[in-house]
Amino acid sequence: MSTRLVTFTLDDRMYGVGVGAVQEVLRGLPRTRIPLAPQTLAGLINLRGQVLSAVDLREQLQLPPRSTEHEPMLVVIRVAGEPVAFLVDSIGSVVDVEDDQFESPPDTLSGPSRELILGAYKLDDQLLLALDVDRAVAA
């Protein structure tokens, strides 16, 4: 059986989320910081009159900070019916992966990265890490 994933990159690693969870992909929307909010919450975004939380996945996965010269892309997903924006480095494409390509998270992942990854798909040229969107939002 195959699964369709929307892919994106963070720190040169490819991640994916189920295509059914993705509402849209955006660029360049201003964020409003929230005083005293955790670093993982990058702020609030006004998307056509709807206010969304923006989660910085680099911070969530404890990856190095993004270069200030690169504006993050936004992947708007639905978790429990509510939209949430994930800040990512770049957007990839939609890929079809087979169940037999799926493996448990690699041993090289540790800390929050390991807890937020469902597993990995071995593609021809790289590893695709499947993100647990529910945990990424709740963490």
pLDDT, one tens digit per residue, over 70-89 is 889 999 999 888 999 999 99
Model pLDDT, residue 2: 87
pLDDT digits (tens, 9 = 90+) for 91-104: 999 999 999 999 99
Q: Which residues pair with 119 in a beta bridge?
A: 130
In the DSSP assignment, the letter for residue 31 is -
pTM for the model: 0.91
pLDDT band at 33 (very low <50, low <70, confident <90, very high): very high
Containing domain of residue 45, as a range? 2-138
The strand pairing partners of 15, in sequence order, are 8, 129
CATH number reported for the structural domain that contains residue 33 in this entry: 2.40.50.180
pLDDT grade for 1, boundaries at 50, 70 and 90? confident
Q: Do 56 and 116 contact (CB within 8 A), yes or no?
A: no
Rg (CA), the chain: 15
How many domains is the chain built from? 1
